[in-house]
Amino acid sequence: MAKAGQTEPIEALLKEGRKFPPSKDFVKQAQVKSASIYKDAGGDLVRFWEKQAKRLRWMRPWKKALEWKLPYAKWFVGGKLNVSDNCLDRHVEGPHKNKAAFIWEGEPGDSRVLTYRDLWREVNRFASALSKHGVKKGDAVTIYMPMIPELPIAMLACARIGAPHSVVFGGFSPESLSDRINDCKSRIVITSDGGYRRGGTVPLKKNTDGALKACSFVSTVIVYRRTGQEIAWQDGRDVWWHDFIKTGDAYIKPEPMDAEDMLYLLYTSGSTGKPKGIIHTTGGYLTGITATHRMIFDLREDDVYWCTADIGWVTGHSYIVYGPLANGATSVMYEGTPDYPDKDRFWRIVEKYGVTILYTAPTAIRTFVRWGEQFPNRCDLSSLRLLGTVGEPINPEAWVWYWQVIGRRKCPIVDTWWQTETGQILITPLPGITVAKPGSATRPFPGVSADVVNDKGESVDAGYLVLKKPWPAMLRGIYGDPERFVKQYWSQVPGVYFTGDGAKRDEDGYFWLLGRIDDVMNISGHRVSTMEVESALVDHPAVAEAAVIGRTHDIKGQAIAAFVTIKSSVTATDPLKDEIKAHVAKKIGALARPDDVIYAAELPKTRSGKIMRRLLRDVAEGRALGDTTTLADPAVVADLKQKYEDAE
């Protein structure tokens, strides 16, 4: 707590005392059982990461493990390797040859299984075809596809020949796509006619045609036929995937890549403003994600692992494609939405394939809470043994629901904090060791140095989350904008990486993410975090999801406006609003009592499912809306704007 006259970056209000140790059975079989790993790695983090890197296949060993000239880090300098060689060839040469790499399910219910050998075969052909078409090491390729196996095939093919890819999430508009193509100047775009979503189709080729009006330098569009829908065709530029791949040979040697060569470029989700093109490289990246994927998900040979993210986000890059494949895992991949044809689709998939590890997002969990338990309860979820979350802080109530209803009180939950920029998970439980506390991402992964500081860089109980030492999968820059790189991440607090997130640390050294620094509210001189007020709101039995913002107030500086969605089974009334306000005051203090409660059918979210509080601030202040290109559904904000104006 801040002392009188001293403002700390944030105050901590919420006390969550519940603790969940892993079960004896889980501990017995766990990959990582001894907490000494933290001490060992902490003693010499470079040696720790070198040990992890040695599990990969290198074409040439590195000379120097880390070269650190703030803010630029180079990992495994002088080493050479190829990511597709590590993800495919290595397994195809051994006992994993015919193991399932992907178990894929399309939204209409069609399904395909691709073994490591199948994937290797497709990737070779496609990579060879790209190479014959003139795509060379260093040439950027844009990929705009639905969640079908050809998406990872295209990524791995690019990686095989050393062409950095830029995957653009298939939900983005033509404008967002053309912005991203223009930013990296890729001459090749890989797409499909369409993709299935919520019973309809998404017109990906049509969107691509629209985007390319502003990108005349694009010479080739490779189109996979997924839906068979009607599309326009530009001769000379457009080519069908099935024709294109035939021009490739059965094998192409993986390009030896420098550890520091670019693997891909990926734009952040844009919760706070204009998305940034984040650069990730080869050796350190693969090391970081492979080690974290193996240890955090306690990966075993017979696991059926399912990460429900879209590959268009970093979670999909690191923990659907590269991490699981490098580890020789079997992954489930699903094309569509969780409510098609019914709200039990995820649980049907878990039951059908015997999923053992499920990795999803708080936004999805809160939606499942709103829909009700009847959907998971009608499926057999007994195969599950470990659960994970990523993307936003998870409210303790949602965590406990996930643990009880989905995990049936026996699966540990790993709440993993990381960013597009960090490439790999950085703050997380290790499921066989960590006693979880709902709402806390717990501790930095071994070999990761994190702290909570004030503006001067001094450690405090609640403040800015920073990273003090380099980690292997860290970003190497913002594409085409070195100044923004320095300003955004390396200038706020001297000498350390600034995450932009607030956090507090408790008496056990656990980290609790408090939301974004930009979203922190200032109520009568107290710096209040969005996460804590939202968690207190979600703690009320009627509330499924909440977003709070500070709006200008004459006396207090800011007043709290709370936008809430309530559970399907509850009716929205005025007395309920007062009850909700009182609940927050009781849970975390009168200071945090919302001035307004606004019922919302939906909250404005990014395409990746994160709440966009900056748009809610615009609504509450009656301003024009800021950048909305990454907004999932514009109707949601329009609706709230109307409601807000009507109420005034």
CA–CA separation, 382 and 134 (whole Å): 50
User: Which residue, 220 or 492, is less far from ligand ATP as judged by CB?
Assistant: 492
516 touches ligand ATP (CB under 6 A): yes
610 touches ligand ATP (CB under 6 A): yes
Calculate the CA dihedral of residues 561, 565, 571, 572 and round it to 10 degrees: 20
Interface segment toward ligand ATP; rule CB under 6 A; list 23-31, 334-342, 415-423, 585-593? 415-423
Interface segment toward ligand ATP; rule CB under 6 A; list 84-92, 270-278, 319-327, 369-377? 270-278
User: Which residue, 62 or 489, is less far from Mg ion as judged by CB?
Assistant: 489
566-577 exposure pattern, b = at least 16 Cβ within 10 A, e = fewer: beeeeeeeeebb
Interface segment toward Mg ion; rule CB under 5 A; list 128-136, 263-271, 325-333, 376-384? 263-271
CA–CA separation, 599 and 639 (whole Å): 11
Q: What number of chain residues touch ligand ATP (CB under 6 A)? A: 24
271 touches ligand ATP (CB under 6 A): yes
- Considering only 105, 118, 260, 501, the residue that binds ligand ATP (CB under 6 A) is 501
CA–CA separation, 614 and 637 (whole Å): 11
CA–CA separation, 385 and 16 (whole Å): 25
Interface segment toward Mg ion; rule CB under 5 A; list 162-170, 203-211, 267-275, 590-598? 267-275
> Residue 278 Cβ, how far from ligand ATP at the closest point, in Å?
8
Q: Do the bridges between strand 511-516 and strand 277-281 make them parallel or antiparallel, or are there none, so unpaired?
A: unpaired
Q: How many helices (H) and strands (E) does the chain have?
A: 22, 29
Q: Which does 444 bind (CB under 5 to 8 A by kind): ligand ATP, Mg ion, none?
A: none
> Residue 513 Cβ, how far from ligand ATP at the closest point, in Å?
3
CA–CA separation, 629 and 180 (whole Å): 12
User: Which residue, 82 or 268, is less far from Mg ion as judged by CB?
Assistant: 268
Interface segment toward ligand ATP; rule CB under 6 A; list 77-85, 194-202, 271-279, 352-360? 271-279
CA–CA separation, 304 and 317 (whole Å): 18
Q: Which does 269 bind (CB under 5 to 8 A by kind): ligand ATP, Mg ion, none?
A: ligand ATP
- Considering only 62, 264, 402, 417, the residue that binds ligand ATP (CB under 6 A) is 417
Give me the amino acid identity at 555: I
- Considering only 281, 420, 492, 530, the residue that binds ligand ATP (CB under 6 A) is 420
Cα-based angle 636, 639, 643 (whole degrees, multiple of 5): 135
Q: Do the bridges between strand 220-224 and strand 188-192 make them parallel or antiparallel, or are there none, so unpaired?
A: parallel
Question: Segment 529-548, which members bind ligand ATP (CB under 6 A)?
Answer: none
User: Which residue, 497 or 644, is less far from Mg ion as judged by CB?
Assistant: 497
Task: Report the residue number whose CB is nearest to Mg ion.
Answer: 268
Interface segment toward Mg ion; rule CB under 5 A; list 82-90, 264-272, 518-526, 542-550? 264-272
Closest CA to 532 of 16, 9, 92, 111: 16
CA–CA separation, 154 and 139 (whole Å): 14
User: Which residue, 310 or 344, is less far from ligand ATP as judged by CB?
Assistant: 310
269 touches ligand ATP (CB under 6 A): yes
Interface segment toward ligand ATP; rule CB under 6 A; list 146-154, 265-273, 373-381, 397-405? 265-273
Q: What contacts 541, CB < 8 A, 6 or more positions away?
A: 567
Question: Segment 427-446, which members bind ligand ATP (CB under 6 A)?
Answer: 441
First to last CA, the chain: 36
Contact 255, 160 (CB under 8 A): yes
Determine if the peptide bond prior to 71 is cis (ω within 30°): yes
268 touches ligand ATP (CB under 6 A): yes
User: Which residue, 317 or 583, is less far from Mg ion as judged by CB?
Assistant: 317
Q: What contacts 95, CB < 8 A, 6 or more positions away?
A: none
The count of C-alpha atoms lying within 13 angstroms of the C-alpha of 152, restricted to the half-sphere facing its C-beta, is: 35
**Residues at the site binding Mg ion, with contacts judged by CB under 5 A:** 268
Contact residues for ligand ATP, defined by CB under 6 A: 268-272, 275, 390-393, 415-420, 441, 499-501, 513, 516, 608, 610
